[in-house]
Every structure is written in C-alpha cells, then in structure tokens.
C-alpha cells in the first residue's frame, strides 16, 4: 500500500481502490464510511482527552503549579482515569426534569461538535468531506451546539441552569455574526468557500501575512468571537462557576456531564483548526519570500505536523486568555460584540473587499 506522509491522497485512493476491487460498490461505500467514522471516533476521544490534559498542564504552569502528575509519566493518563471515573458515576436525573430533552441535550452538543470535524482538512488529501461550502458548513454545524445547551438548561428545571442557558443563547447568537464576518474576509481573499481551496490559495503565503493589517485584525476578531462562541475563557458566562455554580450543566452527572465537558474542548479544537486553516495556511508550510533554502527545509516538515502545530498554537492562545482574564458580565459581553467587534468587523470586511477589488494584496 503506497504511503506518503506528504500527500495522503495516494493512501486514501489506494484504500478506496482496494475496497472497490473486493466488494460491491455499495458495500465498499459503507465500509469506507465505517472506517472514517471509527477513525474519527478514536481521534475525537484522544484529542478531547488530551486537550483536557493540556489545559490542566498549561494552567498549572501559569499558576506556579505542576499540574496532574500522578497517573502515568507526567500524569499523561490522568484524564483517562477521570473518564473512567465519570463512566462509573451514577447518572442522576432530576425528578421534575423533562426526561426526554434532559437526556437528549448532551448528545446534541456532542454530535454538533462531531459533525464539524468532518470538514476539516488535516493534511493534503486527509479530508473526510470536501464541501464546496466548507466554511459555511462549519458555521452552520457549530451553531447547533447552542441548541443543545439551551435544551440542557431548560430541561434541567433548575434556575441556575436556565440562567446559564439563556446567557449562552444570547452570547452565541450575537457572536456568530463576528465569527461569520471574520471568516468572510478570508472568503473574499481566496474567492472560495471550499476549505481545501482556501488552503491551496495560501501555498505562497498565509492570509494573515498576505492580507496586510485587515487580515490580522480579522484573525484577532475571529479569535475573540470564537472564544466567546464556544463559551470559554473570559466569556464563559454560561457556566460561570463563581456565579451559577456550573451554569447549564449544573444538574448533569457522570458521562452526560463528560459529554458537555468533552464537546467544549472539541469545540475549542475545531475553532482553533478553523483559524489555522483559514488564516494560518492550514497544512501549508511557512514560506518566506525568496529564501529558497529556508523554504526547502520548511517543505521537509510533513503537512500534518504543520497543521497540528498551528492548531496547538491557537489552542494555546485561547487557553492563555482563559487563565489570565477575569470574566465579563453579560451586558458587557454584549456591549463588546455590538459596539466594538461588529462595527470593526464590518468596516474591516469592506476594507478587505476594497483591497481585493484593487488587487492590493500579496498574490
């Protein structure tokens, strides 16, 4: 089986051909789907768990602590131990809760984040579905999560949960705009909504460098707005533990709580990978002008490492925010969106459209 770490399309094509040669097209399709599904499930679990671990380590180092270091070397298996603990915990259902919605909510949240992974281009050819409206798809799918949060808050029949859910609703609805506009700026630059095309368009330089100041502004807008959209960092009002104990998931326990927890971290991963893909060139290596030798060395690093490196960098930024800033109040949060982020974003988008129209950017 041909395997090339620089281009996964040969591998995937080989698998496809192998399956088609051995069984009927329908079965081959089903088998492919199963393989992709299983791979993503495992990927999801590993990334989710290790993001939790990473968060705990990052915050520990920022806080002069060592962080988890008991289970395995450097505590590497701590989150797995936690998961096992959560799996064994009792699933408490509130007596007066709306049973159906209460049980469905964690699944909606986790499915929403699971669906978003499908469109992420991990490396050249490593892509589950390459939608021609990839950016749009990501936006649409990631907004489903808030429905789950609202349902969770409502069905728990707890006042804390309800406040948390309502906050989350208001927050996500307003910050969706800024996320969208920030992404639109790159769509304007690259002229496509297909994620693979956007990545290809950054072969000679990432948009954050090619697009002058407006692209940098758009990147930070995206970072801020998406941090708010995934209820993290200084914008974690939905679960504000010092005000609402745990917000919308106050009444959840065991694995259902773990679903919320895991999906929160996966959302962070998705947002970070989206930022890496559209602004930081996805799996494209860093190229600097005409430094041939430098560019050659950069090309030598496999694209998948580039992709993960950038994603981890963005994730680190998001964690850095969370562990430094105090939390905003709900009205300040909405102020920030409607009075600062949205107007700046609109002007920025106009500016980018103008730049593209005049061709004033590095091509």
Interface segment toward another protein; rule CB under 8 A; list 96-104, 133-141, 326-334, 355-363: 326-334
Is the CB of residue 156 less than 8 Å from the CB of residue 309? no
Q: Is 66 in the site for another protein (CB under 8 A)?
A: yes
Interface segment toward another protein; rule CB under 8 A; list 11-19, 140-148, 185-193, 239-247: 239-247
Q: Which of 37, 329, 338, 360 binds another protein (CB under 8 A)?
A: 329
Written as six digits, the tokens of 321 are 């925010």
To the nearest whole angstrom, how small is the minimum distance from the Cβ of residue 46 to another protein?
A: 24
Tokens 């936690």 -> residue: 82
Q: Which of 71, 81, 298, 330 binds another protein (CB under 8 A)?
A: 330
CA-based nearest residue to 119, from 136, 97, 103, 107: 136
Interface segment toward another protein; rule CB under 8 A; list 2-10, 61-69, 93-101, 301-309: 61-69
3-state SS assignment for residue 123: strand
Instruction: State CA 235 to chain mean position distance.
Output: 16
Q: Is 90 in the site for another protein (CB under 8 A)?
A: no
What is the Rg, in whole angstroms, of the alpha carbon atoms belonging to the chain? 21
Q: Is 290 in the site for another protein (CB under 8 A)?
A: no
To the nearest whole angstrom, how small is the minimum distance from the Cβ of residue 159 to another protein?
A: 5
To the nearest whole angstrom, how small is the minimum distance from the Cβ of residue 61 to another protein?
A: 5
Q: Is 324 in the site for another protein (CB under 8 A)?
A: yes
Give helix 342-358 / helix 159-190 axis angle, nearest 10°: 10
Written as six digits, the tokens of 306 are 């580039």
3-state SS assignment for residue 97: coil
Written as six digits, the tokens of 289 are 């002008």
Kindly identify the residues of this chain, within the stretch 154-183, that bind another protein according to CB under 8 A: 159-160, 163, 167
Q: Is 69 in the site for another protein (CB under 8 A)?
A: yes
The dihedral formed by the CA atoms of 305, 15, 129 and 51, expressed in degrees to the nearest 10: -40
Q: Is 59 in the site for another protein (CB under 8 A)?
A: yes
The rounded distance, in Å, linking the Cα atoms of 256 and 36 is 25
Interface segment toward another protein; rule CB under 8 A; list 62-70, 84-92, 196-204, 266-274: 62-70
Tokens 């969706």 -> residue: 176
To the nearest whole angstrom, how small is the minimum distance from the Cβ of residue 186 to another protein?
A: 22
Cβ closest to another protein, residue 45 vs residue 58: 58
Cβ closest to another protein, residue 330 vs residue 356: 330
Q: Output the CA–CA distances (angstroms, integers) from residue 161 to 93, 158, 239, 298, 306, in the order listed.
A: 14, 5, 8, 49, 40
- The site for another protein (CB under 8 A) is made up of 58-59, 61-66, 69, 159-160, 163, 167, 234, 236-237, 240-243, 245, 320-321, 323-332, 340
């Amino acid at each position: 089986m041909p395997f090339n770490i620089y281009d996964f399309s040969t591998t995937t094509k080989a698998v496809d051909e192998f399956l088609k040669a051995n069984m009927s097209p329908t079965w081959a399709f089903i088998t492919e789907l199963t393989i992709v599904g299983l791979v993503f499930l495992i990927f999801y679990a590993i990334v989710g768990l290790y993001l939790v671990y990473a968060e705990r380590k990052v915050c520990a180092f920022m806080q002069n602590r060592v962080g988890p270091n008991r289970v395995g070397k450097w505590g590497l298996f701590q989150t797995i131990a936690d998961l096992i603990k959560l799996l064994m915990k009792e699933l408490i259902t509130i007596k007066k809760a709306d049973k159906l919605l209460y049980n469905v909510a964690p699944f909606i949240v986790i499915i929403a984040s699971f669906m978003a992974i499908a469109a992420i281009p991990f490396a050249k050819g490593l892509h589950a579905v390459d939608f021609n409206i990839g950016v749009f798809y990501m936006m649409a799918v990631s907004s489903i999560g808030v429905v789950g949060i609202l349902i969770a808050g409502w069905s728990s029949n707890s006042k804390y949960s309800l406040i948390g859910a309502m906050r989350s609703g208001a927050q996500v609805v307003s910050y969706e705009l800024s996320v969208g506009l920030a992404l639109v700026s790159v769509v304007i630059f690259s002229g496509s909504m297909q994620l693979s095309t956007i990545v290809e368009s950054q072969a000679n330089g990432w948009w954050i460098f090619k697009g002058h100041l407006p692209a940098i502004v758009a990147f930070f807008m995206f970072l801020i707005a998406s941090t708010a959209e995934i209820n993290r960092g200084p914008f974690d009002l939905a679960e504000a533990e010092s005000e609402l104990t745990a917000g919308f998931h106050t009444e959840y326990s065991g694995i259902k709580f773990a679903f919320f927890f895991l999906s929160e971290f996966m959302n962070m991963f998705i947002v970070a990978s989206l930022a890496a893909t559209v602004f930081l060139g996805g799996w494209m290596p860093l190229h600097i002008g005409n430094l041939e030798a430098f560019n050659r060395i950069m090309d030598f690093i496999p694209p998948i490492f580039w992709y993960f490196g950038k994603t981890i960098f963005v994730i680190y930024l998001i964690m850095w925010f969370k562990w430094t800033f105090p939390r905003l109040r709900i009205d300040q949060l909405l102020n920030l969106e409607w009075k600062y982020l949205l107007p700046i974003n609109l002007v920025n988008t106009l500016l980018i459209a103008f730049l593209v129209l005049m061709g004033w950017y590095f091509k």
